[in-house]
Amino acid sequence: MNGAPSLRQRLLRKKPMTNIVDGHGGHDGELKRSITLFQLTMFGVGATIGTGIFFVLSEQVPVAGPGVLISFLLAGITAGLTALCYAEMSSMIPVSGSSYSYAYVTLGEGVAFLVAACLIMEYGISAAAVSVGWSEYLHNLIHNVTGLELPRWMLSAPIVAEGFSLHFGGDGLINLPAAVLVFLCSFLLMRGATESARTNAIMVIIKLSVLVLFIAIAVTAFDPGRLVPFAPHGMTGISAAAGAIFFTYVGLDAVSTAGEEVENPRRNLPLAILLALVIVTTFYVLVALVALGAQPTSEFEGQEAGLATILQNITGSTWPAIVLSAGAVVSVFSVTLIVLYGQTRILFAMSRDGMLPPIFSKVNPHTMSPNANTLIVACCVAAVAAFMPADVLWHLTSMGTLVAFAVVSAGVIVLRYRQPDAPRGFRVPLFPVLPILSIISCLYLISSLSLIVFKLTAIWAFLAAVLYFTYSSRNSALERKDRTQ
């Protein structure tokens, strides 16, 4: 090959499948076909439930009113459709790889870079969002246990979103607990912390228990009259809330990627997605329903540590709020750790492919942990968590995930025509209706997101494009290979 490849060649070049197979199998095949339907369903529930629901109502009830219950269903249906498409995509390549690598192998470097940019929104931005929520519950816990009131300036971001712009004018100067949490988790990651299936299971139990506690207590104050008017802002409000609520279903895709390890994937994969979705949605709807019945719609707006505050108002006692906040603080801490871990590993994979500078794949020779990478991620995520408002972060997470899923759903259709005979461990039913519905529902939810998110996403896309054309496309491992040929 003479000289540099053309732009089109660069965007479409694919990583050979052998690269992704290399070195795999050191686990002695212990995970092969070992996950049962029940376990997989529980993984799905565990990966999905319990971060967003702790925070989402105070943002979305003012938007949709009690109609927020419909928003949960809309977001859930979209999540289910996309998870099914994702499952087919994942089952096409018989070996492990992240969705970034799947895209690189099947759809080419351009799409892989786009998927990675979306994953950074799904992981990096949501890490910041989750830590902002954690900060609220931590403050609630400290206040209820010790009576101490932390100064307002250190509890919330200085930047607020309004229409198309971000400007200073928030209540605080910095969200200090959120930033501290990010650094704390990063420190643990550098020390080699990972989450085992067992810790994961314990965290799921904690999350579900506190939500059950909430439902059980809040239902005692249920007043059906508070559900009327059901949709004060009509369908516009309901769909606007659905877009934002979508992030509470992020994580369901964990089920889709487990295809190769699941017993009888053709049956169990869709069933696990469906079961996990039903369980998660039931929890969300019940929590939202009892919360709506327990206090007037007008009280949700701006309510910090929402679920704990509701319990406190109902019972007049602090202990249920303490239990709930403690559960939230512990489980959200673990979520932050996982999400940050995920973020560093995406960047690691990209750096190994030459798409990012080598510093992201440099590891400490003794702990084998990518410390520089972790530190850079910590600084960026902590800065976002400290200065950006939570609602914008949640919307951005939804945006990134929805774009990625729309791409995956489109990819399923493309590959059915381009590689009709390629082996697929799982095929989406009702092709092509289901992937098309998946794309439509993603686009519908995207269209309901706030204006500022489109602007921020456009800026992000621009920055990512600049990075791709100035660095990644020139330093890609495939580029080096092209040149040596």
Partner 1 sequence: MKFLVGYSADKGGAEALQLAGLLARSSGGSVVVVTVLPGGWDHPSPARVDVEYVQFLEQHAAKTLSGAKKIAPGDVPAEFHARHAKTASEGLIAAAAEFGADAIVLGSSRKAPMARFQEGVVASEILRSASVPVALAPRGYTPPQGRVARVTCAIASSESSVTLAQKAGEIAAGFHVPLRLATFIVRDRQMYPTGAGYDAENLVANQFREQATAAYQQISAGWPGSDRPELVLGDGRDWKSAVASPDWDPAELLVIGSSHLGGFLRVFVGSNSGKILRHAPVPRMIVPRLAD
Q: Which of 64/356 has CB closer to partner 1?
A: 356
CB of 23 to partner 1, least distance (A): 4
Q: Which of 55/123 has CB closer to partner 1?
A: 123
Asked if residue 16 binds partner 1 (CB under 8 A), the reply is no
Check: CB of residue 103 under 8 Å from CB of residue 411.
Answer: yes
Asked if residue 253 binds partner 1 (CB under 8 A), the reply is yes
Total residues in contact with partner 1, by rule CB under 8 A = 55
Angle, alpha carbons 151-153-155 (nearest 5°): 80
Which residue type does 233 have?
Answer: H
Binding mask 35-74 for partner 1 (x = CB under 8 A): x----x--x---x---------------------------
Question: Among residues 59, 88, 109, 122, which is the contact residue for partner 1, using CB under 8 A?
Answer: 122
Q: Which helix (H) or strand (E) holds 392?
A: helix 390-418
Angle, alpha carbons 464-381-81 (nearest 5°): 65
Strands 165-168 and 159-162: antiparallel
Asked if residue 378 binds partner 1 (CB under 8 A), the reply is no
Positive or negative, the CA dihedral 287, 393, 229, 313 is positive
Check: CB of residue 35 under 8 Å from CB of residue 259.
Answer: no
Check: CB of residue 231 under 8 Å from CB of residue 238.
Answer: yes
Q: Quickly list DSSP for 205-256.
A: HHHHHHHHHHHHHHGGG--GGGG-SS-TTHHHHHHHHHHHHGGGGTTTHHHH
Check: CB of residue 374 under 8 Å from CB of residue 344.
Answer: yes
And the tokens for 191?
Answer: 């020390």
Question: Among residues 3, 6, 18, 26, which is the contact residue for partner 1, using CB under 8 A?
Answer: 26
Asked if residue 135 binds partner 1 (CB under 8 A), the reply is no
CA 299 → CA 164, 285, 332, distances in Å?
26, 19, 24
| Among the residue ranges 135-143, 149-157, 366-374, 424-432, the one whose residues contact partner 1 (CB under 8 A) | 366-374
Asked if residue 18 binds partner 1 (CB under 8 A), the reply is no
| Among the residue ranges 334-342, 421-429, 433-441, 454-462, the one whose residues contact partner 1 (CB under 8 A) | 334-342
Asked if residue 359 binds partner 1 (CB under 8 A), the reply is no
Asked if residue 362 binds partner 1 (CB under 8 A), the reply is no
Question: Among residues 17, 193, 206, 467, which is the contact residue for partner 1, using CB under 8 A?
Answer: 193
Alpha helix positions (H), 36-67? 37-48, 56-64
Paired residues of 162 in beta bridges: 165
Asked if residue 442 binds partner 1 (CB under 8 A), the reply is no
CB of 350 to partner 1, least distance (A): 9
Question: Among residues 209, 313, 318, 369, which is the contact residue for partner 1, using CB under 8 A?
Answer: 369
Q: Which of 99/450 has CB closer to partner 1?
A: 99
Site for partner 1 in 195-224 (CB under 8 A): 195-197, 200
| Among the residue ranges 235-243, 323-331, 344-352, 416-424, the one whose residues contact partner 1 (CB under 8 A) | 344-352
Q: Which of 67/259 has CB closer to partner 1?
A: 259
CB of 335 to partner 1, least distance (A): 12
Check: CB of residue 36 under 8 Å from CB of residue 266.
Answer: no
CB of 150 to partner 1, least distance (A): 33
Asked if residue 342 binds partner 1 (CB under 8 A), the reply is yes
CB of 223 to partner 1, least distance (A): 38
CA 220 → CA 37, 132, 416, 477, distances in Å?
35, 30, 52, 61
Question: Among residues 24, 32, 33, 152, which is the contact residue for partner 1, using CB under 8 A?
Answer: 24
Asked if residue 258 binds partner 1 (CB under 8 A), the reply is yes
Question: Among residues 117, 242, 255, 456, which is the contact residue for partner 1, using CB under 8 A?
Answer: 255
Q: Which of 59/253 has CB closer to partner 1?
A: 253
Positive or negative, the CA dihedral 195, 199, 200, 206 is negative
Nearest of 445, 446, 435, 436 to residue 84 by alpha carbon: 435
| Among the residue ranges 99-107, 150-158, 310-318, 430-438, the one whose residues contact partner 1 (CB under 8 A) | 99-107
Which residue type does 437 have?
Answer: L
Asked if residue 113 binds partner 1 (CB under 8 A), the reply is no
What DSSP state is assigned to residue 365?
T
C-alpha of 327 from chain center: 20
Residues lying near partner 1 in the complex (CB under 8 A) are found at: 20, 22-27, 31, 35, 40, 43, 47, 90, 96-101, 119, 122-123, 191-197, 200, 250-255, 257-258, 261, 338, 341-343, 345-346, 348-349, 352, 361, 365-370
